[in-house]
Amino acid sequence: MRSESIARNYAEALFALGEKSGRSNQYADLLDALAAGIAGSPKVQAALASPKVPKPVKSRILTEALATAPEEFRYFVAAVVKRGRQGLIAAISAEYLGLLDVKLKRVRPTVTVAREPDEALRTLIKTQLEAQLGQEVLPVFVVQPEILGGVVIRLGTQVLDASVERKLVRLRRQLLKS
């Protein structure tokens, strides 16, 4: 079974638990914080990946970090470690957020810009996308100077490329046809 499928199965199990207990949003925050904490600590990453560190120790490291989290969430994390899937926590978090987004009718498009956008531009893009899509939009901004200017918006398999780079490519093609 592929890692993506495994992560989705774990996310669905936790999501069902969150729906049952009314803690779906809290679990999303906890899972996201856990994934970020692991990603931000090379020592924790090394301990979780090491075959020399026993699974109970790995489980204790994570569950102690989640001491204030609901008990069932800590049990979930312990079960993930027990099955040797701690390397998938970031993927489980991403899958879980996807499930929560569907429930809350929101989308997370990737918005690529040439330079870091100021708050006014972020708000403008978010507002216009919400008007077009009729859903709550939580844009993820990515800076790529190569596009020179404009914007590239990716939502699932759809891509809207209004970058200066793309416009120059089109202009070049038109000039070569002439």
- Mean pLDDT over each residue of the chain, to the nearest integer: 93
CA gap 7, 99 in Å, rounded:
12
Question: Residue 101: what pLDDT?
Answer: 94
Q: How many CA atoms lie within 13 A of 117 on its CB side?
A: 20
Are the C-beta atoms of 138 and 106 separated by less than 8 Å?
yes
For the chain, percent helix, then strand, then coil, each to nearest 5? 65, 15, 20
pLDDT 10s digits, 104-157: 999 999 999 999 999 999 999 999 999 999 999 999 999 999 999 999 999 989
CA gap 37, 45 in Å, rounded:
9
Question: Residue 1: what pLDDT?
Answer: 63
Smallest Cα–Cα separation from 17: which of 67, 93, 76?
76
pLDDT 10s digits, 64-79: 889 999 999 999 999 9
pLDDT band at 84 (very low <50, low <70, confident <90, very high): very high
pLDDT band at 100 (very low <50, low <70, confident <90, very high): very high
Residue range 49-65: mean pLDDT, rounded? 90
